[in-house]
Amino acid sequence: MLALVAAVAGCGEPATPPPDTSNGQRIVTLAPHLTELVFSAGAGDRLVGVVAYSDFPEAAQALPVIGDAFRIDPEQLAAVDPDLVLAWEGGNPDEALDQLETRGYRVIRLATESLFDVADNLEAIGRLTGTGDMAQRAAGDYRAALEKLAATHRGREPITVFYQVSPQPLYTVGGRHAISDMIRVCGGRNVFDDLGQLAPVVSLEAVIDRDPEVIIASNYGDPLERWRGWPDLSAARNGNLYTVDAALVTRPGLRMLEGTRAVCRHLDEARQNRD
């Protein structure tokens, strides 16, 4: 659960193009979604180390694990001897990344705030690894598919949504988060889009007061059980309680397109279920 909340909270600052474009030949990634992006950019064969939970694609599971998003084992990192470390801006601790740079590692920090930043990061990785053509094609396909989804849902009746990251504590997402971007693409509105925090904790009373028409939860245990006990809540009354695969919405890689499609399907169904 901590990994899930951290993944949500880490989608923060907008992506910044890396200044150094020399090709990385021995790459370490410090977040699971960065591992996915390296494979998507056509440079998976350059990866020599990853962090815990880097389980997609399947080939990533065979790579050495050099720590997790918060703690890197210096001996394991030295053993794989990377010439490029891809870091998670807003997710990996700044002090840890500063220490890596002090030790002489080349660290490039990438961040995601919007769905379209995923494509920007993919192209940046392509430039860093010398696989720019493949990365640009994949990024272009991703952008085109997102734009098509947005065009399809533009003008559809607005619908309010509560996104639940975890049931206890009750984490959600603020308006600057990529998940809120997904909801907007699908013609919805996050009921907590006025919150500045990326992954704030909210109260049960606050959710009830904002009375969302739809509740979507990350698929962790039985995340919707509590809401079934509130039949006066619009989402519960109309049966608009849904789950999505957390990996498809919290990891800012190309699979976010699949996650956005799932959110759109749920909102389309919810519109049909209105009183």
Among the candidates 93, 113, 148, a domain finishes at: 148
Q: Do 21 and 133 belong together in one domain?
A: yes
Q: What is the per-residue pLDDT for 275?
A: 57
Residues 178 and 261 in one domain: yes
Asked if residue 132 and residue 186 are part of one domain, the reply reads no
For residue 41, give every residue at least 6 positions away whose Cβ sits within 8 Å of its Cβ, in sequence order, or none: 122, 125, 126, 129, 131, 134, 135, 138
Report the number of distinct structural domains present in the chain.
2
Tokens of 208: 């009830």
pLDDT per residue as tens, the chain (275 positions):
444 445 555 554 444 444 444 577 999 999 999 999 999 999 999 999 999 999 999 999 999 999 998 899 999 999 999 999 999 988 899 999 999 999 999 999 998 888 999 999 999 999 999 999 999 999 999 999 999 999 999 999 999 999 999 998 999 999 989 999 999 999 999 999 999 888 899 999 999 999 999 999 998 777 898 999 999 999 999 999 999 999 999 999 999 999 999 999 999 999 998 75
Amino acid in the structure at residue 152? T
For residue 88, the 8-state DSSP code is E
Claim to verify: residue 173 and residue 250 sit in the same structural domain: yes
Please report, for the domain that includes residue 257, its CATH number: 3.40.50.1980
**CA-angle at 67, arms to 85 and 89, nearest 5°:** 45
Q: Which of 246, 255, 252 is nearest to 124 (CA)?
A: 252
DSSP 132-165: HHHHHHHHHHHHHHHHHHHHHHTTSPPEEEEEES
- pLDDT tens for each residue of 179-195: 999 999 999 999 999 99
Q: How many residues does this entry show for the chain?
A: 275
Provide the residue range defining the domain that includes 62. 2-148
> At which of 95, 114, 148 does a domain end?
148
User: Could you tell me if 142 and 159 lie in one domain?
Assistant: no
Cis peptide before 74, with omega less than 30 degrees from 0? no
Among 148, 181, 207, which residue terminates a domain?
148
pLDDT given at position 219: 85
Please give the DSSP secondary-structure letter assigned to residue 76.
Answer: H
Exposed/middle/buried for residue 227 (C-beta within 10 Å: 0-12, 13-18, 19+) = buried
Residues 180, 57 within the same domain: no
Are residues 159 and 30 located together in one domain of the fold? no
**Whole-number pLDDT of residue 10:** 52
Same domain, residue pair 244 and 262:
yes
List, in sequence order, every residue forming a beta bridge with 27; answer none if it has no partner: 47, 84
Q: Are residues 233 and 263 in the same domain?
A: yes
Instruction: Tell me: do 92 and 206 sit in the same domain.
Output: no
* Sign of the torsion angle spanned by Cα atoms 103, 49, 116, 183: negative
Q: Are residues 213 and 141 in the same domain?
A: no
171 with 67, same domain: the answer is no
